[in-house]
């Protein structure tokens, strides 16, 4: 039986019930057909779950389909012994699928790359920045530090000392205090809002750079009871993206690290801020 019928079976394009039953039987009983089915199903699932469907240009679609047809006509599936192996073992131990299936996988990847949509960073409007907004608070706190209105409650250059201070001061979530070669850890502040404590720490560079970090457990931002964040920005961060905005000679960066949403505001060069925090 032509294994390319598996594709039609997966797409529910077969109308002959007896043929559908025969293919299902082969998938259940023949390791090679089963492997072929799993490969095609995996590619289809990846394409469906990870990328928005958009049609490829007609000329490209025709060219790819013609290429598949010519390859299928030239190549014939190579029979192999019916050895019962698991999907992942089979995938890494031997080329159990046909040449035509390999073409299908390659073409699927090409179509995914052509059709993938890049998620654009959200636009943060000024009228959305209310006093309880984390974005608003991070910018204001940074300006207060620069103007000398907000000073660290504890001066320390050791991450563990800072983390212990957060814990002993009532911060109820775990914190991350990384070290960087460009900046030295300067100190920390614990703020309070409606009985809840929040963690802030600061770095300083040799050229006068200040890097301010404000981290909040994401659960606070989802309840909106004490502190909030724009829904589109929170969703953008939840998907693993790093948000960056430059304004007034400063960089504002948001990144989700573990279960915390971290706001970084700095007058350091953009490449340094981006490379250090987006890669955590």
What's the whole-number average pLDDT of the chain? Answer: 82
Query: 253 with 242: CB under 8 angstroms?
Result: yes
d(Cα 218, Cα 149) in Å, to the nearest integer? 28
pLDDT reported for residue 190: 98
* pLDDT at residue 53 is higher than 80: no
pLDDT reported for residue 91: 46
Whole-angstrom Cα Rg for the chain: 27
Residue showing tokens 């802030």: 200
Which H, E and C letters describe the chain, residue by residue? CCCCHHHHHHCCCCCCHHHHHHHHHHHHHCHHHHHHHHHHHHHHHHHHHHCCCCCCCHHHHHHHHHHHHHHHHHCCCCCCCCCCCCHHHHHHHCCCCCHHHHHHHHHHHHHHHHHCCCCCCCCCCHHHCCCCEHHHHHHHHHHHHHCCCCCCCEECCCHHHHHHHHHHCCCCCCCCCCCCCCEEEEEEEEEEECCEEEEEEEEEECCCCEEEEEEEEHHHHHHCCCCECCHHHHHHHHCCCEEEEEECCEEEEEEEECCEEEEEEECCCHHHHHHHHHCC
Say which CATH topology domain 126-278 has: Protein Transport Mog1p; Chain A (3.40.1000)
pLDDT reported for residue 87: 46
Lowest mean pLDDT among 61-65, 80-84, 234-238: 80-84
pLDDT reported for residue 231: 93
* pLDDT at residue 222 is higher than 60: yes
pLDDT higher at 262 or 55? 262
Residue showing tokens 């775990």: 174
pLDDT reported for residue 83: 41
pLDDT higher at 254 or 86? 254
d(Cα 280, Cα 278) in Å, to the nearest integer? 6
Specify the pTM: 0.60
Give per-residue pLDDT as tens, 25-36. Answer: 888 888 888 888
Strands 210-217 and 242-247, how do they pair? unpaired
Give per-residue pLDDT as tens, 64-121. Answer: 666 666 655 554 444 444 444 454 445 444 454 555 555 666 556 655 555 544 578 8
pLDDT band, very low/low/confident/very high, at 162 (cuts 50, 70, 90) = very high
d(Cα 100, Cα 69) in Å, to the nearest integer? 9
Domain boundaries, the chain: 5-115, 126-278
Give per-residue pLDDT as tens, 191-204. Answer: 999 999 999 999 99
Q: Summarize the confidence of residues 58-64 as an average pLDDT.
A: 60
* pLDDT at residue 38 is higher than 50: yes
Query: 53 with 115: CB under 8 angstroms?
Result: yes
And the tokens for 276?
A: 């250090």
pLDDT reported for residue 85: 44
DSSP state of 118: P
Query: 195 with 216: CB under 8 angstroms?
Result: no
């Amino acid at each position: 039986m032509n294994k390319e019928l598996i594709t039609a079976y997966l797409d529910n394009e077969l109308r002959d019930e007896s043929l559908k039953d025969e293919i299902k039987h082969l998938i259940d009983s023949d390791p090679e057909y089963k492997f072929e089915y799993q490969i095609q199903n995996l590619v289809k699932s990846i394409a469906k779950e990870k990328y928005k469907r958009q049609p490829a240009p007609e000329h490209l679609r025709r060219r790819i389909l013609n290429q598949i047809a010519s390859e299928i006509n030239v190549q014939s599936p190579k029979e192999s012994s019916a050895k019962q192996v698991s999907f992942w073992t089979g995938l890494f131990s031997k080329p159990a699928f046909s040449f035509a299936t390999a073409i299908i996988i390659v073409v699927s990847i090409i179509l995914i790359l052509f059709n993938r949509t890049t998620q654009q960073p959200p636009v943060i409007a000024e009228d959305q920045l209310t006093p309880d907004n984390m974005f608003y608070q991070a910018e204001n706190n940074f300006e207060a530090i620069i103007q000398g209105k907000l000073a660290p409650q504890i001066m320390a250059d050791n991450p563990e000392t800072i983390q212990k201070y957060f814990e002993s001061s009532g911060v109820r979530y775990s914190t991350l205090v990384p070290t960087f070669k460009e900046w030295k850890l300067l100190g920390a502040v614990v703020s309070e809002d409606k009985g809840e404590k929040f963690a802030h720490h600061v770095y300083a560079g040799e050229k006068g750079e200040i890097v301010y970090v404000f981290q909040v457990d994401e659960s606070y931002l989802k309840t909106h009871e004490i502190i909030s964040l724009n829904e589109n920005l929170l969703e953008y961060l939840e998907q693993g993206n790093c948000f960056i905005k430059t304004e007034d000679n400063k960089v504002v960066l948001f990144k989700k690290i573990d279960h915390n949403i971290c706001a970084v505001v700095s007058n350091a060069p953009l490449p340094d801020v981006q490379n250090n925090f987006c890669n955590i």
